[in-house]
Structure 1
Amino acid sequence: MTRLKRWARELGVLALLIFAVMSGVDFLRAPQAPADFGHQPLQVVDSQNVTLLEQSQQRPLLVYFWATWCGVCKMTTPDVAKLAEEGGNVLSVALRSGDEDKIRQYLAAKNIAMPVVNDPRGELSAQWDIGVTPTFVMIDKGNVVSTTTGWTSYWGMKARLWWAGF
């Protein structure tokens, strides 16, 4: 039994260490929301203008910064699209991935349907100080609640959206 306790304790310490490192990396990579970001009109491809404030008023919003050329994004984008298809409050921003036709073609080829704001020259990502793709920003009622970068699972996204509502 003492051997089992030792393994459990070491596993707990390892989990805490991993959590601390991941939190530190997220802190260092965290984007900085521009002043009054909630009111800035954003043009969704094939749709109307929206603002992050109105999109996050009723329930938390996941803003997903990604790129067609990003290797990790190729793993996370289908999960974000699945979340959007299930009714999750999602808005994605395609960084330096070409014009709107190229974005449409990419999404159609991958059979992905989600709202996308195109940022062809990286101006929006520069305003947010996005240095890593993918970046996930949780917004509730116009306030940034949390951010994370790099790979995250479908369930991790769902949990972050759920937690952002508290």
Structure 2
Amino acid sequence: MESQEKQLEQFVDCVQAIGRHMKRSQRNSQDGTEITKTQWLILRFLAKQNGCTIGQLAERLEVRSSSMSQMIDRLELAGTVYREPDKNDARTRIVKLTEAGKEMISKMKHSRMEMIAGPFNQLTQEEQNTLVEIMMKMTTNLKLHGSRCKE
């Protein structure tokens, strides 16, 4: 049991170190573009989904819809997102990236990939595949565990 606890501590330490490194590198590489982690997550999700409702964003980031509305207001003021009426339901608005938002997410994604590529490429192809597979499995298990805790 002690061994597993030690491994868990090492795992958490490693995840935190990677997170700190990515955050520090992001701060150092920003060209005057200030964006919070939450804003990054919103923009990234919108880029993958090609737009979605505030409710969908709130659910994805596990916040209240009213909080998400405020976040979207700030992103709209910054010119990175816009809202348009849903073609199927006029009461609903779809949040989408503006061209500036698409450009910002593309630059930041490229910057993040460059930053992590060096250490990642030090792994063999097999290690890379295994690492990604394990991290995806951990993410899925966290989501499953999280939904059981909420019930």
Both proteins in one fold, TM over 0.5: no
TM-score by length of 1: 0.34
Structure number, greater radius of gyration: 2
TM-score (norm 2): 0.36
| Higher helix proportion | 2
Of structures 1 and 2, the one scoring higher in RCO (CA 8 A, sep 6+) is: 1
More strand per residue: 1
